[in-house]
């Protein structure tokens, strides 16, 4: 499944800021997207779309958010109750739409945006249903002049771009034969908390909800994006929270169309020391690659700001220092030890 990431798009005037409508004004939008857009010189917030007067109930920052009346005043943007109402009235004034609505609405809202001829930045997970994912990709393919961008955040960062270049453009590590990936995050407040139904309870056609959809989707986007592997079959199991039913420990073994295997692990409940653990190992016929370390956590936990004491400040500084450890390492096999020859059929065990 291909989603355009490298096309260059231009608006009618390259000199004015892009006019962006934001759909869904809950926790992630209020904490990250709106402040970011408001601070940019190359974009302006043209409209807010949100059905609820008090947004974000059940979302990641449930109970700690501003009302729509406050947001309208703060960002100087008119509020609409639905995307359809916005498009009917203001379509021609917009350049693009950012969708940060609940997972299960991504396909319908995203298709509405693309069908209206507007660029789309869609939050992860792209959809929670394979047929819906294909629908969205087809809508993007039918409008190649439009951007269809997915906000799997790490996939826009230098480590990913370098990893993808090594594997898919330069072929540095040869053919990918195995991937082992782990994501572990201090998110029990989210997946085991009772005010975050959007992250713990399935809706629409979703099969389950929890760390898999909420976080491991980032790991899969990284792995498939960096390696170009195409999954073929999967065996997966999960351990669920006794409090919410959300999956909080996930394990999956995936076979890919070229015979490569992916082992994936997700852990949603590590102690909060200010970081999450990322470990993506990619093994190829000519070398191997590791992207990982202790990546910064998003600091969204209700108690993550500390109590302001010297000890809390010291802990926070240490966490920031540790969190800078996520990096990319590439190890190439010496030519004589290349695993490429003789080529072995996919799946055959071979000790080296």
Ligand X SMILES: NC(=O)c1ccc[n+]([C@@H]2O[C@H](COP(=O)([O-])OP(=O)(O)OC[C@H]3O[C@@H](n4cnc5c(N)ncnc54)[C@H](O)[C@@H]3O)[C@@H](O)[C@H]2O)c1
- The smaller minimum CB distance to ligand X, of residues 119 and 124, is found at 124
Task: Specify whether the backbone of 12 is left (phi greater than 0), alpha (psi in -120 to 50) or beta.
Answer: alpha
Decide: is 101 part of the binding site for ligand X (CB under 6 A). yes
Nearer to ligand X, 106 or 166 (CB): 106
193 binds ligand X (CB under 6 A): no
Q: Which listed range, 21-29, 135-143, 179-187, 274-282, lies at the site for ligand X (CB under 6 A)?
A: 21-29
Residues with Cβ within 8 Å of 154's Cβ and at least 6 positions away in sequence, in order, are: 160, 218, 221, 222, 278
Nearest alpha carbon to residue 144 among 1, 3, 12? 3
Check binding of 23 to ligand X (CB under 6 A). yes
**SS3 call for 168:** helix
DSSP 52-80: -SS--TTSTTTTS---HHHHHHHHT--EE
Under rule CB under 6 A, residue 26 binds ligand X? yes
Least gap, CB of 28 to ligand X (angstroms): 3
Q: Residue 49 or 179: which CB sits closer to ligand X? A: 49
Helix (H, G, I), strand (E, B) or coil at 265: strand
Indicate which single residue of 4, 5, 18, 105 sits in contact with ligand X (rule: CB under 6 A): 105
Which conformational region is residue 65 in: left (phi greater than 0), alpha (psi within -120 to 50 degrees), or beta? beta
Cβ atoms within 10 Å, residue 54: 12
CB of 317 to ligand X, least distance (A): 24
Residue list 287-316, contact with ligand X (CB under 6 A): none
In the window 31-90, what residues touch ligand X (CB under 6 A)?
A: 49-52, 55-56, 58-60, 83
CA 307 vs CA 27, 276, 299, 314, 319: distances in Å:
22, 21, 14, 11, 15
If one asks whether residue 198 binds ligand X (CB under 6 A), the answer comes out as: yes
Shortest Å, Cβ 19 to ligand X: 18
Query: Based on CB atoms, which residue is closest to ligand X, 29 or 241?
Result: 29
Q: Is 206 in the site for ligand X (CB under 6 A)?
A: no
249 contacts 238 by C-beta, under 8 angstroms: yes
Under the rule (CB under 6 A), what is the footprint of ligand X? 23-29, 49-52, 55-56, 58-60, 83, 100-103, 105, 123-124, 151, 153, 198
């Amino acid at each position: 499944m291909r989603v355009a990431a490298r096309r260059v798009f231009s608006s009618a005037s390259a000199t004015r800021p892009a006019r962006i409508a934001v759909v869904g004004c809950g926790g992630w939008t209020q904490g990250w997207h709106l402040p970011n857009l408001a601070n940019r010189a190359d974009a302006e917030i043209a409209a807010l779309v949100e059905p609820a007067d008090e947004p974000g109930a059940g979302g990641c920052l449930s109970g700690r958010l501003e009302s729509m009346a406050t947001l309208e005043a703060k960002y100087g943007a008119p509020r609409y109750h639905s995307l359809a109402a916005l498009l009917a009235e203001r379509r021609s004034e917009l350049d693009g739409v950012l969708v940060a609505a609940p997972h299960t609405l991504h396909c319908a809202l995203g298709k509405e945006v693309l069908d209206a001829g507007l660029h789309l930045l869609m939050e992860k997970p792209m959809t929670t249903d394979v047929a819906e994912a294909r629908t969205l990709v087809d809508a993007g393919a039918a409008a190649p002049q439009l951007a269809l961008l997915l906000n799997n955040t790490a996939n826009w960062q230098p480590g990913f771009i370098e990893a993808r270049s090594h594997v898919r453009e330069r072929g540095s590590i040869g053919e990918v034969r195995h991937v082992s990936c782990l994501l572990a995050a201090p998110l029990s407040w989210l997946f085991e908390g009772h005010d975050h139904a959007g992250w713990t309870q399935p809706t629409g056609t979703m099969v389950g909800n929890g760390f898999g959809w909420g976080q491991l989707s980032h790991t899969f986007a990284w792995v498939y994006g960096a390696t170009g592997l195409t999954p073929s079959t999967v065996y997966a199991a999960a351990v669920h929270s006794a409090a919410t039913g959300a999956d909080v420990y996930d394990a999956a073994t995936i076979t890919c169309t070229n015979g490569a295997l992916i082992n994936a692990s997700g852990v949603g409940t590590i102690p909060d020391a200010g970081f999450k653990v990322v470990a993506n190992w990619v093994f190829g016929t000519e070398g191997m690659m590791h992207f990982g370390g202790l990546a910064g956590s998003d600091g969204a936990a209700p108690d993550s700001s500390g109590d302001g004491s010297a000890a809390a400040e010291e802990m926070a500084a240490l966490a920031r220092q540790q969190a800078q450890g996520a990096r990319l390492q590439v190890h190439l096999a010496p030519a004589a030890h290349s695993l490429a020859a003789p080529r072995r059929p996919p799946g055959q065990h071979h000790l080296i």
